[in-house]
Amino acid sequence: MSDALAVRTPRSLPLEAALLAIPVALACAGLLIRFLAYAATADDPSIASFAAGMCRWDCQWYVKLAEQGYDGFPTPTLINAGNWAFFPLYPLLVGIVRALTGLETIVAATGLSLLVCIATARVAWPLLGRNLRAYTLFSAFLLAGPFSIWFTTFYTEVLFLFLTVCVFAALQARRILLAGVFAALLSATRIVGCFIVFAILIKIWLRHREAGGTWRDFIPAVLKRPDWLLAIFIAPLGLFAYMLFLHLHVGDALAFSHVQRAWARPTGNPLGFLWQALTTFPAQGWIPTPPQQLAVATLVGYALAIVLLVRRQYAMAVYALMCLTAPLFAGMASMLRFTAGLAPIPLILTQLLASSRWLFAIALLVFLASGYFTTIGWLTEYLSLV
């Protein structure tokens, strides 16, 4: 596809205006789609109760975290679980918005999530090859698609995806230190965010090779670039800051990991978990079981990561493979959400679907239609969406 085709816009609409109008329009469409699904399932639906009605599962933990902060030890209600498993950056931001605006927590979170989604789409523009069809599909994926239920309520997926896109956009622009700053924020959003340091290292290595360097002089070359070195060292800073806080607050720097026992999350062989999920056949009928759906989503994620490798997008591919594999050691739970919220996956998916006009049109319709049905599933507590 030529650059001229990639950036083509209606003659009456400047490019920057189009890049804002597309996600804003899809944000409005997504709100309507999800509200219609909410109205079809709620006993007494109303616009006033819509945001709270969409808050399910872990969302309620985040609301409490934004309002009351982290549990002490022992937990105030003497339950098995504390809220230390949830990383602090997004609840902190929502708490700030809530304090500044006086809005109800879930309303503040919903509004902030929508704004972050729109910002994510705009920042992703160069990563999408400046292709308007891919940009439109990516915006639809975030704001009105089947997984917009996570990106537009109070879940960390939206901030995690935004910061990941920021890191890769900075790396593409060769701003290594800026990428390190975004990486530090990313590691304070979800535990797998610390893996982004390997993407930074890969980009540094590729720049070193472009300059004629070899593996023998790689470390000396990095030591001569304080900005590269600083980017590497600050990348996991968010995680370390959270660990320090937990050590001071509850006496356990790894409380975010140890508390997983309360949710009965086993540890084991990822291949074993994947095979067990794939072979969990339905007792009757032909619709795949939730474990099978989670397994298929995981395999699709791996397949798209391999596509990234084939396209020589090594930093994205390695990061995606690491982020897909790490949670598999604790089983299949939430793997659909983890896959959909992993930025390289929707980035490459929407580029593939934008390769032709007819495929683009079909994909856009499927995204919008499935946004309604997955919202129904979300509100009726369909397990593969947890």
pLDDT > 70 in the chain, percent: 94
Q: What single-letter amino acid sits at 283?
A: A
The burial of 251, by beta-carbon neighbours within 10 Å (0-12 exposed, 13-18 middle, 19 or more buried), is given as exposed
CA distance 173 to 179: 10
Mean pLDDT of the chain: 92
**Residue that wins the pLDDT comparison between 212 and 7:** 212
pLDDT in tens, 335-358: 999 999 999 999 999 999 999 999
Q: Which pLDDT value is given to residue 150? A: 95
Q: What is the pLDDT of residue 303?
A: 98
Residue 3: predicted pLDDT: 42
Record the tokens describing residue 106, joined without a space. Answer: 């879930």
Q: Average pLDDT in the 169-185 region?
A: 97
Ramachandran area for residue 331 (φ above 0: left; ψ -120 to 50: alpha; else beta): left
More confident residue, 198 or 77: 198
The whole-number average pLDDT for the span 285-308 is 95
Confidence of residue 386 (pLDDT cuts 50, 70, 90): confident
Which of 106-125 are b and which e, b meaning 16 or more Cβ less than 10 Å from the residue's Cβ?
bbbbbbbbbebbbebbbbbb
> In the chain, how many H helices and how many E strands?
21, 0
Kindly write down the DSSP assignment for every residue of 6-69, as one continuous string: HT---TTS-HHHHHHHHHHHHHHHHHHHHHHHHHHH-SS--HHHHHHHT--THHHHHHHHHHH-
pLDDT bracket for residue 5 (50, 70, 90)? very low
Who contacts 47 (Cβ-Cβ below 8 Å, separation ≥6)? 35
Tokens in use for 289? Answer: 């079981």
Question: What share of the chain in percent tops pLDDT 90?
Answer: 80
> What pLDDT is stored for residue 232 in this prediction?
96
| Predicted pLDDT of residue 285 | 82
pLDDT value at position 45?
Answer: 87
13: pLDDT strictly greater than 80: no
Q: Copy the structure tokens of residue 73.
A: 């030890």
Q: What is the pLDDT of residue 72?
A: 85
Digit-coded pLDDT (tens) for 45-59: 899 899 999 999 899
